[in-house]
Amino acid sequence: IRLLNSVKHQLELIGKHCPSLTSQISFICILKLLEELSERLEEEKAKDEMDISSIEMEKREGNITS
């Protein structure tokens, strides 16, 4: 995720220095895709963290009952 944000930041900097309209449109499209990808990664990360915590709770509950 940090890598994606770094790439996004670099593209924003490059986009500011490119006057060409087609370049700017391309950069905007790439930025939108990167934003969407990083949002999906954040969602997946949150799901994974919830799965891990529920597994840990099940383990603890299993230890208590046994």
25-37 mean pLDDT: 85
- Percentage of the chain modeled with pLDDT above 90: 5
Structure tokens at 31: 């930025």
What pLDDT was estimated at residue 21? 66
Distance CA 36, CA 43 (A): 11
- The residue range of the domain holding 51 is 2-65
Output the CA–CA distances (angstroms, integers) from residue 26 to 17, 31, 44, 51, 59, in the order listed. 14, 9, 27, 37, 49
- Domains held by the chain: number: 1
- Give me the pLDDT at residue 13, please: 76
Question: Residue 65 pLDDT > 60, yes or no?
Answer: no
Average confidence (pLDDT) over 11-24: 71
- pLDDT at position 66 is 47
